[in-house]
Amino acid sequence: MQNEILINSTREEVRVALLEGGQVVEYYIERKKGLSLVGNIYKGRIVKVLPGMQSAFVDIGLEKAAFLYGGDIVIIDETPAQFHELLNNGKEDNTSPDSIGATETIGGEVGVRERFYIKPQRISIDDIIQEGQEILVQVAKDPIGTKGARVTAHVTLPGRYVVYMPTIDHIGVSRRITTEAERTRLKQIAEAIKPKTGGIIVRTASEGCSEEELKRDLEFLLMLWDNILKKNESVHAPSLLYSDLDLILRTVRDMMGQNIERLIIDSEEDYNRVIDFVSLYFPKLAGKIELYDGPEPLFDAYGLEVDISRALGRKVWLKSGGYIVIDQTEAMTVIDVNTGKYVGKESLEETILKTNLEAVKEIAYQIRLRNLGGIIIIDFIDMEKPEHRQKVFNAFVELMKKDRVKSTILNISELGLIQMTRKRVRESITRILCEPCPYCDGKGYIKTPRTVCYEIFRKIRKIRPYITTRLIIKVNPVVAELLTDEERQGIEELESLFNVKIVVQEDPTFHQEHFEIVQI
């Protein structure tokens, strides 16, 4: 079956689904009131330098200061004299400049200047930047949870066919282009068109493209960078210098590869916008863009709403009767595999292997669909045979090759654990569509009514010296029922022990864990 991209666009939000063989494998959502900042370029101001962490906080005009690692710092307008002064101050004795940094001359309409970038692990960050200093940065990661945005001074400007990197002298070819002859051809083109300043990466979409197409794409990016530098010189920090394309146009630019048969969009206004965009920059794609005008909503027509709802659940059932459990924390995601109702027909080891292999497919699918990032640990059911563990690992690695997001997968351990990292740029689906439960405060569980009853008993014993003649206990109705029924004996014992009358009063507005003890 063909691969397709579906775009559902409304006044409130835009939803994008990538379908492989009719099944949604990637899902993106952008709400008009919470647009992504990734790719935006700002003129920021250093508000705090942390030498102990070799990092800094940068004010780019958001509610929370952005975080900048020392290794991501590029200083523009430094001079070689200042560079050597750092060396002479004893920071790098007997070390050649080339081993810790580099300088390049930038020409063009904006004038000649020097760019100097360093490896801050060898020179302290507070020797390079100071509080109050202005710096040009690009958002690499959106604010996630309680963390501010992650920024870098190594700017990347993505086009349709190439990515221009003004601060890095490098030529690369997408690892998704696997044919050696095509990689060689594209690298030769990249070397021929590479500007004197900066580097380029040839994108997957460039496979089969001519030199003229790549050159035209690069020329647009060079003009864009020139305009960004001009604006940087004319504004004060914090200021937005450049905003990346919205989700719809980013999808066209980044996802419309040769393996995509068509893109279907259900908004006539956005359809016309996409047609204008591709006609101007990527005319070859115009024939792949379609306007949906069916009687039912686009995502319902393709049966996607069920898959998306399923991606929000903690437990995902497998066809055999086994299941996986996905728990997402602030630092990592843990995925646990269980046999569930599946008992198998052969030996226990074969049952475990079949369950793990079935789970591998679902896990790889859920990682992409939910956009899970950061550290991911997968706990497969224990397998005694090393060949079975290797078979599960190989199957997982092979399936993850389809993922467009960069990941690193470590070999499976003797305990059946796979540890991996997956690049996290934006929030996962769960974090975008959901919020912590206000009842359990995100724990996923609450104290039982009996636990609350016993806490009340302990509380009454604790306040014994202050008890008068009458107590009123205000509780949730579920707890009240337990106190006046199964735990009534506990109430009577306290009444007898402290010579006090205890009245249980239910309040439907009370949280199950909440109670009040009032003295009359």
Is the pLDDT reported for residue 462 higher than 90?
no
d(CA 44, CA 35): 20
Q: Residue 468 — very low, low, confident or very high, per pLDDT cuts 50/70/90?
A: confident
Q: Could you tell me the fold of the domain covering 42-241?
A: OB fold (Dihydrolipoamide Acetyltransferase, E2P) (2.40.50)
Task: Answer yes or no: is pLDDT of 108 > 70.
Answer: no
Q: How far is CA 45 from CA 124, 135, 153, 234, in A?
A: 19, 6, 12, 15
- Confidence (pLDDT) at 440: 82
Cα–Cα distance measured from residue 258 to residue 324, given in angstroms and rounded to the nearest whole number: 34
Top-confidence residue, 448 or 280:
448
Give the model confidence (pLDDT) of 407-427 as tens digits: 999 999 888 899 999 988 777
The string of pLDDT tens digits covering residues 192-220 is 999 988 999 999 888 888 999 899 999 99
Mean pLDDT of the 160-170 span: 91
What is the CATH number that goes with domain 449-519? 3.40.1260.20
Report the length, in residues, of the chain. Answer: 520
What CA–CA distance (Å, rounded) separates 288 from 251? 13
Give the model confidence (pLDDT) of 329-353 as tens digits.
Answer: 877 899 999 988 766 667 788 888 9
Residue ranges covered by each domain of the chain: 3-35+246-305, 42-241, 313-433, 449-519
pLDDT above 90 covers a percentage of the chain that reads: 55
Tens of pLDDT, residue by residue over 118-130, are 343 457 788 888 9
- 108 vs 287, more confident: 287
State which fold the 3-35+246-305 domain adopts.
Nucleotidyltransferase; domain 5 (3.30.420)
Q: Give the C-alpha separation, 105 to 77, whole Å.
A: 10
Residues pairing with 201 in the sheet: 163, 172
pLDDT at 99 over 70: no
Confidence band of 143 (pLDDT split at 50, 70, 90): confident
Q: Note the pLDDT of residue 406.
A: 87
pLDDT of residue 78: 38
Task: Tokens for 18, please give them.
Answer: 């990538």
Both tokens of 136, joined, read 């040009």
Q: What is the pLDDT of residue 251?
A: 92
pLDDT at 83 over 70: no
CA distances from 376 to 25, 323, 363, 388, 420 (A): 18, 18, 11, 21, 5
Does pTM top 0.75 for this prediction? no
Instruction: Tell me the angle at which helices 449-462 and 488-498 cross, rounded to the nearest 10 degrees.
Output: 0
pLDDT given for residue 7 in this prediction: 96
Q: How far apart are CA 391 and CA 380, in angstroms?
A: 12
For residue 103, pLDDT over 50 is answered with no
